[in-house]
Chains A and B, each alone.
Chain A
Amino acid sequence: MKLDSKIPAGEVHEKWTNRKFSYKLVNPANKRKYEIIVVGTGLAGGAAAASLAELGYKVKAFCYQDSPRRAHSIAAQGGINAAKNYQNDGDSIFRLFYDTVKGGDYRAREANVYRLAEVSNNIIDQCVAQGVPFAREYGGLLDNRSFGGAQVSRTFYSRGETGQQLLIGAYSSMMRQVGLGNVELHTRADVQDVVVVDGKARGITVRNMVTGEIESYCADAVILATGGYGNAYYLSTNAKGCNATAIWRAHKKGAAFGNPCFVQIHPTCIPVSGTYQSKLTLMSESLRNDGKIWVPKDAKDKRPPNEIPEDDRDYFLERKYPSFGNLVPRDVASRNAKEMIDQGKGVGSTGKAVYLDFADAIKRLGKDKITEKYGNLFEMYEQITAEDPYKVPMRIYPAIHYTMGGLWVDYDLMTTIPGLYALGECNFSDHGANRLGASALMQGLADGYFVIPYTIGDYLANFKKDKLTVDAPEFKQSAKEVSDKMTRILNVNGTKTVDELHRELGMVLWDYVGMARNEAGLLKAKQMIKEIREDFWKNVKVLGTNEEINQTLERAARVADFLELGELITDDALMRRESCGGHFREESQTDENEAKRDDENFSFVAAWEYKGEGVPEELHKEPLQFDYVKPSQRSYK
């Protein structure tokens, strides 16, 4: 395998313009002859399906939910970044680019990040034109808020449900194309494999989640926009159905996997309350604009929060990072919360939480203003915890939230399998080792609306149309493998439920491949994951048949893949003997316990190549070069 990032020549601000001009075009009349499969209908997939169909391509879109509008992008709360500089506070494309590269701890590609910042403004224009109701000022202009890792206000938002409004925008654009007959929509479709013919991605194998039928679909190019793999950790802020199956299958078919150990742990989630906890709920980072994070100074102080006087509180983020305060990037905020809890200063019944306090902001701005800004988040918090955050500080704890790693892609967003693209969270490309808040929505929509429509044209213009159908042996073979996998799972008929096994995997990953990692722990985790995997194939219990709606079978097939991916996450974390962003190796820290990068040895993207079952994966390195944002020890002090 040879990695060619295809980064265009020229100054960073000219690269995308030059590249767009160099792309071959498909003439309008010919576009309808090309078929493109899009897997996933979140912001990246929905936007891609809509904009490719608008151009005239024939699109087939697939999602596992009952409706494309339910993709997990919908749950994003806080907002979307863009370099509009509407606030006149010194923002620019270059500053957004700079903040993102720095926020990612210098492990992202400069060229990709610059493009992202460049198209960010188009996204806001496009969304407003679609009817996305972003917050406005009294005068009628768009409003902005601040987010972690930035000192300008560049985040556009719709209450605490920006993801929903953006997704409804992308979804309705896509549904318009469905109505026009340009997008063929397949819901309740569990994509199980990518079909490669003569070295090119030509289709997918799908399990129909209603009938259980294994179906094949053929196309000229395949786009994966399937989101992240945070659910490998069992408890996460992801939706229950989020999975890595499509990208993991693609990986096994030859797509390199980039930086799997770069996993983001979000600092502000509602803490775990019991053993049967099924998921963790995020409280938007935007809350850190007005909420103050603290723990009691004395670990033995068990008074209720409102009885602890100011002098006995430790506002640890404000104390340690005076210039960014509560708005330090996510990795820094999470690690510091963990540090407090490890010192025994955690609060709440489990001791695994810190306070996020709004008393000050309510005093300063009034309750009404706080309700207007965060009303639905406060309601959500009260629903879950039965505590009123207007009166008692919220309790928060870090949780798995986002995966910066994903399929390796070149500048055109193509994986190492020609004709296979990866968009949005499922690729590795733009966030380095840590993603800044409000940048996931930006990346998903950038990839879908403004990058893939250009890059895929170049591939298709060079693509020789043939008469391939799903009768080709590669499709039959893939369908058989998928069918065999389902049969194999059903035949185990053991004694452990899928959730029990998944929880075991999650605990291992959280304990040893979570917020702090070290060599001994990682080696142990690797062994434990192997054992859980063996246990799974000996002891999993899945009832029913394949030929019906079988939610347990769906889950089991996903967990089987997480059990393989989990080991790769661990291997990658073992290999990277430096700390950077969300990846904190205890062996590599500064005197002040901050993440210490090792640029000399690890300034590269790790791209892993699958070599077959039971064979160690091969590591390929894409060196990273920084010409515009010079790597320095990241400081938010």
Chain B
Amino acid sequence: MANLNIKLKVWRQKNKEAKGKFVDYTLENITTEMSFLEMLDVLNEKLTHQGEDPVCFEHDCREGICGCCGIYINGRAHGPQQRITTCQLYMRHFKDGETIVLEPWRAKAFPVIKDLMVDRSAFDRIIAAGGFISVNAGGAPDANANLITKHNLEKALDAAECIGCGACVAACKNASAMLFVSAKIAHLNRLPQGKPEREKRAFAMLEQMEKEGFGSCTNTEACSAECPRGISMDVIAETRREYFRASILKEKV
């Protein structure tokens, strides 16, 4: 265990309308065993005692699964490590004396509402548009009625790993939500249960994505590189194919 002294440059913005700016803080004796968010807790305790407004940041489960947290750290979504969320980042990955820059996700479709907190409700509206299988509770056949090969199941699960954190959007120079949307489309299309609505789903979700103000995908692969769940670019290719296929079938509803 070692102790670090660090400098922070944190984006502070009072509310959606206010103009934000970077504010500098210093912290001493941060232990390397602390998580990044625990380091921010320490900062906030300090600020509170000093009578200064604590830094607002989103977090909940603090074990990398709820998708709440998301800070742009030193120019990287969820920080310097790969395949983790911000809450899974530990201070042992930083150096003594280092300056760490903290920004919110930046995207037109994710407006900043305070400090490091953004509004990601656009993702929910995309799911509401078509990210589901239309079955009501009650009438489902026996779970083993459909055989699903292990391979296909694992592929569907790979796509279903998405936690909806929005790092893909933050990392993308176009602020596109293509990885998020495609992960959902691939999760459902790769299963037999998802097939009946595949065309309709692709149309509805992509249309909603555009409406929300996300940019277009230009295949730079930054999304996949920064995805804490390692969702692969394959899902985007599949979605393009699905959209093309659906256009030919003219199944748009």
Which A residues fall within an 8 A CB radius of B? 47, 50-51, 54, 65-70, 72, 74-75, 84, 86, 122, 124-131, 133-142, 158-159, 161, 163-165, 168, 171-173, 175-176, 178-179, 185, 187, 210, 239-241, 273-274, 276-279, 281-282, 379-380, 383-384, 386, 449-450, 453, 495, 497, 499-500, 541, 543-544, 548-549, 551-552
Contacts and interface: CB of A to CB of B under 8 A. Distances in A.
Contacts of A380: 63-64, 88
Contact of A84 (B41, B68, B137, B143): B143
A175 B33 CA distance: 39
Contact of B128 (A179, A277, A384): A179
The 3 closest A-B pairs by CB, nearest first: A140-B147, A129-B140, A179-B128
A140 B149 contact: yes
Contact of B62 (A54, A141, A159, A278): A278
A606 B225 CA distance: 53
Most buried by B among A47, A126, A541: A126
5 contacts: A72-B60, A127-B143, A131-B133, A136-B148, A138-B150
A165 B54 CA distance: 34
Contacts of B141: 125, 129
Contact of A497 (B31, B48, B129, B143): B48
Contacts of B48: 497, 541, 543, 552
Contact of B135 (A129, A137, A239, A552): A129
A64 B141 CA distance: 34
Given A125-B142, A126-B137, A175 B132 contact: yes
A140 B137 contact: no
Interface stretch (B94-102, B156-164, B213-221, B235-243): B156-164
B191 interface: yes
A241 B144 contact: no
A69 B164 contact: yes
Given A278-B37, A548-B15, A140 B148 contact: yes
Contacts of B187: 131, 133
B194 A131 contact: yes
B60 A142 contact: no
A281 B68 contact: no
Interface in B192-235: 193-194
Contact of A274 (B34, B49, B62, B160): B34
A450 B138 CA distance: 8
Nearest to A124: B143
Contacts of A158: 157, 160
Nearest to A495: B49
Contact of A499 (B41, B137, B143): B41
Given A175-B127, A178-B128, A549-B113, A131 B191 contact: yes
B26 interface: no
B153 A171 contact: no
B193 A125 contact: no
Contacts of A282: 63
Nearest to A140: B147
Interface string B159-175: 01101100000000000
Interface string B89-121: 010100000000000000000000110010111
A75 B67 CA distance: 10
Most buried by B among A72, A141, A549: A549
A158 B158 CA distance: 11
B56 to A, nearest CB: 6
A86 B144 contact: yes
A240 B132 contact: no
B60 A176 contact: no
B137 A68 contact: no
Most buried by B among A128, A161, A185: A128
A127 B44 CA distance: 41
Given A84-B143, A239-B60, A51 B136 contact: yes
Most buried by A among B37, B64, B132, B138: B132
Given A140-B149, A179-B128, A543-B51, 9 more contacts: A51-B136, A51-B138, A129-B141, A130-B193, A131-B160, A134-B143, A178-B124, A239-B60, A386-B92
Nearest to A211: B15
Contacts of A277: 38
A130 B138 CA distance: 12
A239 B54 contact: no
Contact of B90 (A135, A139, A386): A386
B125 to A, nearest CB: 8
Nearest to A53: B136
Contacts of B127: 69, 171-172, 175
Interface residues of B, number: 77
Contacts of A161: 65, 161
Nearest to A551: B56
Contacts of B146: 128
Given A142-B144, A164-B65, A548-B15, A274 B33 contact: yes
Contact of B61 (A72, A210, A273): A72
B182 interface: no
A544 B142 CA distance: 55
B183 to A, nearest CB: 11
Nearest to A210: B113
B147 to A, nearest CB: 3
Given A125-B140, A171-B127, A274-B33, A239 B62 contact: yes
Contacts of A51: 136-138
B61 A75 contact: yes
Nearest to B62: A279
A131 B193 contact: yes
Contacts of B15: 548-549
A140 B64 CA distance: 30
A176 B157 contact: no
Contacts of B90: 383-384, 386
Contacts of A178: 124, 128
B181 interface: no
A75 B63 contact: yes
Contact of A549 (B44, B65, B117, B137): B117
A240 B160 contact: no
A314 to B, nearest CB: 28
A172 to B, nearest CB: 4
A125 B150 contact: no
B45 interface: yes
Most buried by B among A133, A139, A171, A453: A133
Contacts of B130: 179
Contact of B137 (A47, A134, A142): A47
Given A74-B66, A276-B42, A139 B129 contact: no
A281 B157 CA distance: 23
Given A66-B121, A131-B188, A276-B34, A239 B66 contact: yes
A276 B41 contact: yes
A41 B56 CA distance: 23
B150 A136 contact: yes
B156 A133 contact: yes
Given A126-B140, A133-B156, A499-B45, A68 B56 contact: no
B79 interface: no
B53 interface: yes
A69 B143 contact: no
Given A133-B157, A179-B129, A128 B60 contact: no
Given A124-B143, A137-B150, A548-B15, A130 B54 contact: no
A241 B68 CA distance: 11
Interface in B38-91: 38, 41-42, 44-45, 48-49, 51-54, 56, 58-68, 83-84, 88, 90
A159 B45 contact: no
Contacts of A278: 35, 37-38, 41, 62
A50 B123 contact: no
Given A66-B121, A70-B66, A129-B133, A383 B148 contact: no
